Amino acid sequence: MRKYAWVQSAPVPVKLTDIKKRLLKSEVQTFTENSLKLSKSINRFEVKAGRIYFYHLVEQFGWEDLDSRFIVPLIDGKYIEFKYARITIYPQQCTLDWQRPNDQWMTIFTGTLNECLQHMHERDEWFM
């Protein structure tokens, strides 16, 4: 006799229409421009697959050495772009995620989009 059990799978991010993507981009753009910390830290952001990815530039040292070789291409010959954070948008809530050094994402806050942006603005121990 077979036994059946319900298994709850991981939540799936919402599918965003073009209109919702534009609204999200404008909302995040205005928040980052008004935040002194985030405007300095975040170089760019993009919305894809129900998530908002934030990127920042880090200057690489040793770029003037002609013999040094870098694994990834550098921007303007001396900057490398790293993921700063991501916000995953679910039907009922959003999560603010931080990328660990082993490239796994870790959720550090759950709330609305504005609460996640505010948390990213206020917390210095995760986002430097």
DSSP assignment letter at 114: H
Mean pLDDT of 90-106: 89
pLDDT band of residue 121 (cuts 50, 70, 90) is: confident
- Whose tokens are 């040094």? That residue is 68
Task: Give residue-wise pLDDT tens across range 36-49.
Answer: 888 888 888 999 98
Residue 97's nearest CA partner among 13, 32, 7 is: 13
Rg of the chain in Å (alpha carbons): 18
- pTM to 2 decimal places: 0.79
Residue 56's nearest CA partner among 85, 82, 35 is: 82
Query: Could you tell me where the DSSP H helices lie in 17-64?
Result: 18-34, 36-41
Task: Give residue-wise pLDDT tens across range 19-74.
Answer: 999 999 999 999 999 988 888 888 889 999 899 999 888 776 655 565 655 555 55
Q: Does residue 38 contact residue 32 with C-beta atoms inside 8 Å?
A: yes
DSSP assignment letter at 63: T
- Whose tokens are 């917390």? That residue is 123
d(CA 19, CA 29): 15
